[in-house]
Amino acid sequence: MKPPRPAIRSTAEFARYVGLARTTVSRVLNGQPGLKPKTIARVQRAMDETGFTPNAYALHLKGKRTATIGICIENLLTPPAVLKLAELQRRLRERNYASLIEVVEPGGTRRSVRHFLSLRVDAVAFLGHFVEEEIASRVDELKAMATPHLIIDQAGIASANSLTLDRVTAMEQVLGHLLALRHTSFGLLGFSGSARSVRDRLSGVERALAGAGLSLANATTSLDHLHVRAGDFEFGRAVTGSILQLAERPTALIALNDEIAVGAVHACRAAGLKVPQDISVTGFNNQDIGFMLTPTLTSVDQRVTQTAELAADLLLTQIGQPPRIKPLVQLIAPLLVERESTGPAPRRK
């Protein structure tokens, strides 16, 4: 049986265990140059033996960085948000940075940011969609403390560093694909609301239609207002059911996300329609459920891996640098993944 590890709670106790001067051990722990390799190896071996870890907060009291990034996320309810958070954390860990994650309620970012600042994090990231005025205030606070920041997945915050999917281009790609298949009438599922992400998508739809000589008012139909959006699968089924009752139903349905699109496909089947022979359906986010569906779902890929990689770069390159006068604003190019749920528009009877 292995002897129990000694309980070591301070650098002084650890130095006594190693048998070196405390100043020498501190230099090794702080990564200072000029030490003999055998001394470094001796300290690292003792850390393995004891499980001792230096106090990160003691380091920041000495003016050193904590190698910690604070991440605010509004919820973990959507798979894309969870994937982006996991990928970002992994990318930061690969660069020897820890992540301090706070899942906040709407309006709760102030408390989280102050907590991050009290722990002297090296930078703060916001992931998801927040109230614009609230996040603008948080950005001002971080700038006042010279703490780098990045807003991921939400554009349009004045003077803020941001990285987001180009949703305008994403919808131009979706409409371009459907227009090439000779569709001219479209049902919009879940596009109600005033969020910037929704407005950007509608802007892309409108721009693509205008390029084809069509107008948003005449070429699209939305019946979102007839249904309470409690769950996306059920909402997609319900709102599609209403659209299919129209005398002149659209030939293509464009859903805000993949869950709504899956509900739409089920509603079409229940009405005796074939997808895509009678009606085409598109989703958004390119989740696994899309290619488990029959037919497989045409969807927009958000390029989560590329987003996380670039987010980590943008955060870490700000650390130790003077605050930027002109904010960083970066867009991620979307990727339309064409699958079986879209096909040529049916001929009108």
Give the mean pLDDT of 108-136: 91
Is the pLDDT reported for residue 7 higher than 80? no
Total count of domains within the chain:
3
Using one digit for the tens of pLDDT, what is the confidence trace for 263-294?
999 999 999 999 999 999 999 999 999 989 99
For residues 161 and 308, membership in a common domain is answered with: yes
For residues 198 and 173, membership in a common domain is answered with: yes
Give the mean pLDDT of 71-98: 91
Inside any domain, residue 342: no
Q: What sign for the dihedral angle of Cα 4, 8, 12, 18?
A: positive
Task: Report the DSSP beta bridge partners of residue 127.
Answer: 73, 152
CB 88 within 8 A of CB 308: yes
CATH number (domain holding residue 135): 3.40.50.2300
For residues 204 and 85, membership in a common domain is answered with: no
**pLDDT bracket for residue 64 (50, 70, 90):** low
Share the mean pLDDT of the chain. 90
Is the pLDDT reported for residue 349 higher than 80? no
For residues 132 and 242, membership in a common domain is answered with: no
Percent of the chain with pLDDT over 70: 94
Which DSSP state fits 275?
T
More confident residue, 110 or 183: 183
Inside any domain, residue 204: yes
295: preceding bond cis by omega (within 30 degrees): yes
3-state helix, strand, coil in the chain (%, to 5): 45, 15, 40
Inside any domain, residue 232: yes
Q: Which residues constitute the domain of residue 45?
A: 11-54
Specify the pLDDT at position 282.
Answer: 98
For residues 145 and 79, membership in a common domain is answered with: yes
Specify the pLDDT at position 108.
Answer: 87
CATH number (domain holding residue 38): 1.10.260.40
Inside any domain, residue 325: yes
Inside any domain, residue 344: no
Give the mean pLDDT of 120-140: 92
Question: Which distant-in-sequence residues (6+ apart) come within 8 Å of 18 by Cβ?
Answer: 25, 42, 43, 46
For residues 309 and 160, membership in a common domain is answered with: yes
Inside any domain, residue 346: no
For residues 124 and 215, membership in a common domain is answered with: no
For residues 280 and 176, membership in a common domain is answered with: yes
For residues 82 and 101, membership in a common domain is answered with: yes
Is the pLDDT reported for residue 56 higher than 80? no
For residues 151 and 225, membership in a common domain is answered with: no
| pTM (two decimals) | 0.81
How many angstroms from the chain centroid is the CA of residue 77? Answer: 12
Inside any domain, residue 343: no
CB 30 within 8 A of CB 64: yes
Is the pLDDT reported for residue 9 higher than 60? yes
Inside any domain, residue 41: yes
Using one digit for the tens of pLDDT, what is the confidence trace for 241-250?
999 999 999 9
For residues 233 and 154, membership in a common domain is answered with: no
∠ CA 25-63-66, rounded to 5°:
75
